[in-house]
Amino acid sequence: MKTWMRLGLMTVAMLGLGACSGDDEEEPIVCPQVVVFARSPTGTCQSFGTSCDVPEGYLRCCGGLFGGCATGTGCVDDPSDTCAPGASADCPGICQ
């Protein structure tokens, strides 16, 4: 019985140590659950559950109902639309 117990403990220890080794692993990306609005290069603003969910090539929408921009960027007029900035909540800008 003791032999089986030792064998089991050694197996668990080896599996545990194997999972912890690996210095080349990347740090996990943390994405808080905050609604982010972004627009495709040819579309309108849509919501995403986190900033990590926004596909590459999309521009973050801002202003009105869409909120502000990340630190270090500002909300500017979106040159691809025809609405005047500040005219209404449905005329978003883009973060740059």
- Give domain limits for the chain: 36-95
Residues 6+ apart with CB under 8 A from 74: 95, 96
pTM: 0.56
8-state DSSP, 67: -
Question: In whole angstroms, what is the distance from residue 7 CA to residue 4 CA?
Answer: 5
Please tell me the predicted confidence (pLDDT) of residue 44: 78
Which tens digits make up the pLDDT trace of 16-49?
Answer: 444 445 556 788 878 888 888 888 888 778 889 9
Averaged confidence pLDDT in the chain: 73
Question: In whole angstroms, what is the distance from residue 48 CA to residue 68 CA?
Answer: 15
Residues 6+ apart with CB under 8 A from 14: none
Question: In whole angstroms, what is the distance from residue 93 CA to residue 36 CA?
Answer: 13
Which tens digits make up the pLDDT trace of 45-79?
Answer: 888 998 899 999 998 888 777 778 877 888 888 88
